[in-house]
Amino acid sequence: MTMSESPPREATAESEMLAGVPAGLYRWLSTTDHKVIARLWMGAGSVLLAAGLLLGAAVSAERLDPAEVGLFGGLNSYFQMWSLYRFGMVLLVAVPLFVGLATAVIPGQVGSTEIAFPRAALAAAWTYILGAGIVAVSVVAGGGWGALDGVTTGEADAMALTLLGTGMVMASIVVGSVCLLTTVISLRTSGMNLMRVPLFAWSILVAGTVWVLTLPVAIANIVVIYVDLRGGPLVFGEPEGSTLIYDQLAWLFEQPQVYSVAIPALGVLGSVIPVVARGRQVSHPAMMVLLGAAGLLSVGGWSQPMLAGDNRDLLVFVAFGLAAVLPALAFLGGNAATLKAGDAPVGLPPAHLIGALGAGLMFLAATAAGAVRVIDPLELIATTADTGVMNLAVAAALLGAVAGMVFWGPVAWGRLLPAGQSVLVLLLLLAGGLVAGLSDVVAGLADAPDVMLADQGDGVIDAMVLVSFAGSLLLALAGLGLLGTLFSSWREGTSLDDPWGGHTLEWTTPEAWAETKVASEAPLLDLASTSSSGDDGQEAS
């Protein structure tokens, strides 16, 4: 006779108090529980997501009539908010949401009860929150990443503060990623070799490596610019006005680097599809190779203007841009084959499937738009196509992150997100991302400059700016909707241990890991197959 006893997943406040677990603010400041640390990343990321998408809608509205730049109070403010939107969506929202989701899920996926270096992970989460706050305050105080109408002394001080906050956010992402990478490399349970790591953990290994190796290059740029502003020869702070600071960091928000933000979304897709299809990936190793290729083609530290000059002339830049489509396409194809080969139930697709598939399609759209952007005769670089590619990649990341939050909600915070609201948020993100991204690419084909300061007098551009504004509004609604969905989940979300029939170890208890033999990337599926064949055998006998 075998007896197993599983403790309840979620400890109650009363039981935690009795067990001596610190409560309140002290708990948030001192915890080493990876799921609590994850909530810091995801909570702050979700609030900033809603704020960032609202800001995006405002910036888009401003473009409707560039001659009357009135919403933000002047050219300089417009440029600050335009650049804050880009910086914010990539480094304050998309990447932190994935770092948070991974912090919650990955230790369990690889069969570890904790994250590597939990205190460093906690420090990273708080540094991110503090850095984001400094960036927001300094931009409002007149800082930012450059100025169009001259830099006053006060603005130079505020810019230095913006750079400090930017550096803090990047450093926090690097430290958080190092904790995750070390968890995947060092804390895997017995039997789980690297080829058996679930695809989400693998995607974080790939994307995290890209972040750990490329964000420090941006930090190096920030060091040069910061020292220059604080006492150097003012190469970057020309009194007559300059966007040199932004130009020097723009490669973070452009292809190929911006693709790295969305690679974990492919990991979410690769994890969700087999569970929905109730089967295995048609080729787990091939999916891993494709994710690795996508990561390799998203390394962009070398493409910054200070090092590469006019990078559209570089053959390697064009080759990276064109080649990036291939792994995206093949990865989507592989997952479509998995879905077809499986036994997915007929009916309305669950929210996480909508989000994950949307993320995959959006990533493909981003790489396709990026491939068009690098074709030299079209002259799309420095047009709104830059923003279009970024919007598509960021939308892919947001769809993946929200789909991941829906899928792993029971693991990350012990509650399901409301299905109807989640579907609505994901559909708004999908529609808004596609409309905003593609319209900017089309406007770029009509030579619309990326920083639009005056009416272009072109019918196509005017129409696309209007369409882009509509897309931004949908995205803003999605951001607000996500906050509402999270609030509903917190207030009245149902708690289920494993509502989807997950295949990987995070869906079971640490006590069960020791008894689960890991012989493939889906140990719980193996266990279920063994049990059902055992039952069949019993019935047959």
Partner 1 sequence: MTVTTGLPAAALRRPRTVVVGTMFASASALMTYFGLLAVYLNARADARAAGSEWFPDGVVELGPSGFVFWTLILSTFTVRWAVQAIGNGDRTNAYVAMALTGLFGAAVFNQMWFIINDTGFSLDGSPAEFLFFVVNGTFLVFLILAVIFLALTTLRALFGQFGPRQDDGVASAALFWHTVSFMYWVTWIAVYVTK
The contact set with partner 1 (CB under 8 A) reads 1, 116-117, 174, 177-179, 181-182, 185-190, 212-221, 223-224, 227-228, 231-235, 301, 306-307, 514
> What's the min distance (Å) between Cβ of 219 and partner 1?
5
Q: Of 34 and 188, which CB lies nearer to partner 1 in the complex structure? A: 188
> What's the min distance (Å) between Cβ of 214 and partner 1?
7
Give dist(CA 21, CA 17) in Å, integer: 6
For residue 505, the tally of other CB atoms under 10 A from its CB is 25
Tell me how long the chain is: 541
Give dist(CA 502, CA 521) in Å, integer: 12
Q: Of 20 and 231, which CB lies nearer to partner 1 in the complex structure? A: 231
Q: Of 190 and 529, which CB lies nearer to partner 1 in the complex structure? A: 190
Give dist(CA 94, CA 85) in Å, integer: 12
Q: Of 9 and 119, which CB lies nearer to partner 1 in the complex structure? A: 119
Task: Tell me the sheet residues that pair with 16.
Answer: none
Q: Of 222 and 442, which CB lies nearer to partner 1 in the complex structure? A: 222
> What's the min distance (Å) between Cβ of 177 and partner 1?
8
> What's the min distance (Å) between Cβ of 250 and partner 1?
15
> What's the min distance (Å) between Cβ of 190 and partner 1?
6
CA 187, 110, 397, 258 torsion: positive or negative? positive
For residue 9, the tally of other CB atoms under 10 A from its CB is 13
> What's the min distance (Å) between Cβ of 71 and partner 1?
36
Cα separation of the two ends of the chain: 19
Peptide linkage before 285 cis (omega within 30 of 0): no
> What's the min distance (Å) between Cβ of 502 and partner 1?
23
Give dist(CA 259, CA 83) in Å, integer: 18
Q: Of 108 and 350, which CB lies nearer to partner 1 in the complex structure? A: 108
Binning the chain into helix, strand and coil, the percentages to the nearest 5 are 75, 0, 25
Q: Of 111 and 142, which CB lies nearer to partner 1 in the complex structure? A: 111
* Token digits of residue 441: 């690419």
Q: Which of 267, 284, 255, 266 is nearest to 329 (CA)?
A: 266
